Amino acid sequence: MNDAVGRAGDDATGLDETGLDETGLDGSEGDARPGGLELRLDAPARTWTDAFPVGNGRVGAMVFGGTSSERVQVNDDTCWSGAPVAHPIAPLAGPGGPASELAAARGALADGDVRAAEGHVARLQSGYTQANQPLVDLLLTQRSAGEPREYRRTLDLADARATSVWTAADGAACRQDVLVSHPDGVLLLDRRTDGSTGDVDVALTSPHPWLRPPAALRTAAPADAPGAATPDAAAVPAGVAVLTALVRMPARVLPDYLNDAHAVSYDGPGVLAAVAVAVVPDGPAGASADDGTVHVAGASRVRVVLATATDHVVGDAHLHGDADRVVAEAVAVLTSALADLDGVPDRHVTDHRALMGRVDLGLAATPPDAPLDARLVAHARGAADPHLAVLAFQLGRYLTVAGSRPGTLPLHLQGVWNPHVTPPWNANYTININTEMNYWPTLVGDLAECHEPLLAWLDRLAAAGERTARELYGARGWVAHHNSDPWCFTGPVGAGRDSASWSTWPFGGVWLARHVVDHHDWTGDDDALRRHWPVVRGAALFLLDWLVPQPDGSLGTAPSTSPENQYLLPDGSVASVGTSTTSDLAMARDLLGHVRRLAPAAGEDEALVAAVDAALDRLPAERVAPDGRLAEWSTDVPDAEPEHRHQSHLYGVFPGTSIDPDQAPDLAAAARRTLDARGPDSTGWSLAWRLALRARLRDPGGVTDLVHAFLHPVDADLAAAVTTGGTDADGAAPRHVGGVYRSLLCAHPPFQIDGNLGFTAGVAEALVQAHRVDADGVREVHLLPALPDAWPDGHVRGLRLRGGLRLAELVWRDGRVTRAVLSAARPAVVVVRAGADAPGTRLDLPAATPVRVTP
């Protein structure tokens, strides 16, 4: 890359105030419109993971796309089991309390008695988180539909609309659109035909017992009449039927892995949730309600509008308990939308595009005219289809917009889409990787608004974790462990029997606090940094108290685990507790370094900075093990599971920023050997993490392999189609643990949304990196650091970078940058590199003025 640069109005002509052309980068419309961002399947969903997700941050729904029988499974993000409660701290601890158990565990580790140490930390466990809950299923039955022909359903990521089209048995053309509007707060199902829909029934079912079963809204009823609703029905237009219903979430749900026959209990306080549904036909007969079902006859169009409300107040995580108020709130949202129902779709699309349309990725290949399932099979068999990666990249951004909006709860393991009363791992906040991964693509994907739910929840979590830090460990600041929920559970999970490999990990707050740091690094928002600084400061205070002197004078951690991984003791038995795991020290060094760096902007006091400096000077760095891998444990012990899904000891590579081939070449090489040893297969979310790691290590071949592995289909019929007639080098059918379902939703398996979101972040890392800053404060922008050979031509527009930078435009041909445009929110000096080993070009970026870099 040379020094030829230009500014907007110079040789960057054609750029508007955003630095973007009206058309695509090569003069075409690119992949953003129309049809370029559609997920397509040619049959209705047979399973939940076949369905397409829609949402507005609070309400999420899975659309099955049935013709004669349609199911839309609906969630409200405030529907969880349980209620705010002060969990007992270490109820199993011995007479000396938690302090004696912690001291005994440390003493046992010093004596080399790992088993005794594990016994002591088991007595620090504090119960379980609560579980995310489904709300209702919206069911539509069209009895005269018959067998459809020419069926197709799509999810338009650009417009956030799930559409099914088909030809009915009588030849009528039929179409159904489903969306969930953020501006209006409602789900809208719109079914149309150029003939007659025939008889249509609309009903609600719920996996929970009804407190008030679905009943028609009415203005007067005996006070003791079941199902009586108090809101005024006068706001409901003539010919429209409205149902209201009320359910209560369970008081307790135990994790599914306990296999407890009494895992679900409604005995106790729980969230109250209301649903209001309006059915709006276009026929003269209107809609009528009977016994909780709405009937429509002879209409050519039927619109179903659904609103929800609960007594779960997100801002301070309490339940107000007023059932009538909850029903009234749902009806109020519903009737407000009915007042201008025709305008709901346009308002929805405008709102969604304002976020989704900020980033455009194209890989210069015409996608096959085939449904996703066929494309996934062909791709797994070796057919080139770069556009699948485009869809998966944008799906991660779409799910962020659909699942995380200001004022909502943050995305949990399944986002805001969960059909199970006892979901996998309680569909909770698993904070030893998964919750963090959920928000990796948010800032780079120019969706900073969608980061707010996580930051707001962290404020509440930190406040709750102060008690746990104080009473469990005698420490300042705050602590959280492996799992949490909206009620801000912060203790070690378990009842004395859960594995220490996940339970004994007090670094949830340390890792999560990095999101406050990242938000500032991307946005430069000093006000937001100061507002959320207690999260960072409290995590640092806990760290300073948690670190203990080691015999060599360094600081370390004890007891210590490497999340969910285990090693072998000399007798061949499995263990997980030790001292000073690499992940502990890497996360500690990372957070304390950020505290020192950001202290002036945050207004931090000198005393804390001095304590942080002293601790940083005594923290060991990562080391290379004798076998050439990056060491995971403080001693060289055998792995219990060499291909383990977690790779937390590579934190310094990603999401940390301290290890890359330039800054720490020996450690980077060791990290690469570690990934090689982990093998080619893993869970879906782990493949996404490894993709980001390979990109940060500038390994295009590794990126290629992981994109291919992530996009491997896991549905049984598709996996069988891939392996038919094919074997691996050993003559056995290829083994793929994780990948994607036919809908492109990530499979752990089961479904977890973190893999979809992590994939987006990993692709962004392969295209551009801006994590390095030299001693003079000059940031390096590295273009195409790990571009896969399978993507020789392409473009990306709109990615956000650290330092308030924006990659307004990047075009490449034959793997080489042909056009790049950068802009900065405030004046900045950067060094731009292109390709793996190219020298850098120093650029001055004025504020809000696009600058073209000419290779």
The domain limits of the chain are: 5-30+770-853, 44-80+131-356, 428-620
The residue type found at 791 is W
Residue ranges in the chain modelled with pLDDT below 70: 1-35, 144-146, 218-234, 725-736, 855
CATH of the domain spanning 44-80+131-356, picked from 1.10.1740.10, 2.70.98.50, 3.50.50.60, 2.40.50.140: 2.70.98.50
- 183 CB-contact burial (10 Å; exposed 0-12 / middle 13-18 / buried 19+): middle
Residues in the chain: 855
pLDDT at position 146, please? 67
For domain 428-620, give the CATH number: 1.50.10.10
CATH of the domain spanning 5-30+770-853, picked from 3.40.228.10, 1.10.10.10, 2.60.40.1180, 2.60.40.60: 2.60.40.1180
CA distance 269 to 421: 16
CA distance 156 to 371: 14
pLDDT at position 723, please? 83
Q: What is the pLDDT of residues 789-826, one digit of tens each?
A: 999 999 999 999 999 999 999 999 999 999 999 999 99
pLDDT at position 283, please? 75
Q: What is the pLDDT of residues 282-330, one digit of tens each?
A: 977 789 998 899 999 989 999 999 999 999 999 989 999 999 999 999 9
CA distance 605 to 533: 12
pTM of the model: 0.94
| 386 neighbors 361 (Cβ within 8 angstroms) | no
- 3-state helix/strand/coil string of 739-791: EECCCCCEECCCECHHHHHHHHHHHHHHHEECCCECCCCCEEEEECCCCCCCC
CA distance 770 to 840: 13
Across all residues in the chain, what is the average pLDDT? 92
CA distance 767 to 756: 17
Q: For the chain, what is the total number of helices (H) and then of strands (E)?
A: 20, 39
